[in-house]
Amino acid sequence: MKDKKIFKGLLLSHDGSYLILKTDSDTVKLISKDNIVNIDFPRLPEGLITRPTLVWKINNAQQGTHKTEVSYLTSAMNWHAEYVAVSKDNDQSLELSAWVSIDNRSGAAYPNAKLKLIAGEVNRIMPPMPRALGKSYMLEAMDAAAPQFEEKAFFEYHLYTLTRPATINNNQIKQISLFPTAETKIKKIYTYESSRSSEDVRVNLEFLNSKENGLGLPLPAGKVRVYKEDPADASLEYIGEDMVEHTPKDEKVRLFLGNAFDIKPERAMTNQISTGKNSHEETWQVKIRNHKDTSVDIVVVEKFYGFWEVKKATQTYKKKDANTLEFYVSVPKDREIVLEYTIGFKTR
């Protein structure tokens, strides 16, 4: 304080701007840190709450013991899914495990709680974000040996119910296994899309989320971290990560892991001519050099807008939609393949 006065007492609460002290004489002092002033109360004022508290008032018209169930929403408890995947068998299969992380910042602990998690796009009107107070958090990892969640469709979402009670402490992040480790067949896909990057070939892993393929479970949205085993010492090396959206069973999942080091593309327009008052043609050339010791199959994705059609092409192609053209190019090891095509455009 400016007058060098010292206050002693039990610290009841603080929010960064005010300190609330309870003195030895049971009086309460409210001290402003910003203005360096204090306020004395002869006793704890009625209704003054020194910590976040939820209070219910219940009216009862009948004597005796009553069972009461109270429901409320808390905006300070969230959960998300996380996945760990290991690419195996020369990138022909993927070992996938899933976890849910429950983050409790609500200010209360929930001992032996029945835990249910809803996955889906649940609409909520969110209040303004509160100011962070710099709390610390604890991470607790749970056993993943056996199935712990039961899943079922619920309204337009999916409900995951933990089969045992769980204690969720305040300021704790608890991880629980979502389903046992599963193995699924995968396909490595190389894509070159100049609208994303003119100098890079993207590397993707794709799998079908089906029961026949080893999965067939509704997958909540979350981050997937992918590793690959180094045969030299059997250690797992991190090779990339991507986000998976909410994915129903029998749908494809494609993970983008990074750009290929040994595959280099080069794209250029080689000709443009007018074919009429409202039409013209463009000829494009895409060179792809493969420096790997194996051949690769690459999907070349091109984007066009307006009225257009393929006049000629040196590689197999498919018009995927009104704006997307896909070419399928096979490049032998240590070779360069040249894709050349001509597009005709019309304007009204």
Is residue 211 classed exposed, middle or buried when 0-12, 13-18 and 19+ CB atoms within 10 A define those classes?
exposed
- Residue 66 covered by a domain: no
Cα 203 from Cα 255, distance rounded (Å):
8
- Residue 278 covered by a domain: yes
SS3 11: strand
Mean pLDDT calculated for residue range 66-80 = 86
Residue 134 has pLDDT above 50, yes or no: no
Candidates 268, 271, 288, 294; CA nearest to 328 is 288
180 CB neighbour count, 10 Å cutoff: 12
Residue 158 has pLDDT above 60, yes or no: yes
How many domains does one find in the chain?
A: 3
Lowest mean pLDDT among 81-85, 149-153, 256-260: 149-153
Q: Which residue has the higher pLDDT, 133 or 106?
A: 106
| Domain residue limits at 308 | 263-346
pTM of the model: 0.75
Tokens of 24: 């030895």
Length of the chain: 348
Mean pLDDT calculated for residue range 332-345 = 97
Domain finish residue from 239, 260, 281: 260
Mean pLDDT calculated for residue range 90-102 = 94
249 plus 273 within the same structural domain:
no
- Residue 63 covered by a domain: no
Tokens of 317: 């192609």
In the block, residue with structure tokens 């007492």 = 9
93-104 and 172-185 beta bridge pairing = antiparallel
Residue 296 has pLDDT above 90, yes or no: yes
108 plus 222 within the same structural domain:
yes
Lowest mean pLDDT among 19-28, 74-83, 327-336: 19-28
Residue 346 has pLDDT above 80, yes or no: yes
Candidates 320, 9, 81, 93; CA nearest to 193 is 320
pLDDT in tens, 180-209: 899 999 999 999 999 999 999 999 999 999
Residue 17 confidence class, pLDDT cut points 50, 70, 90:
confident
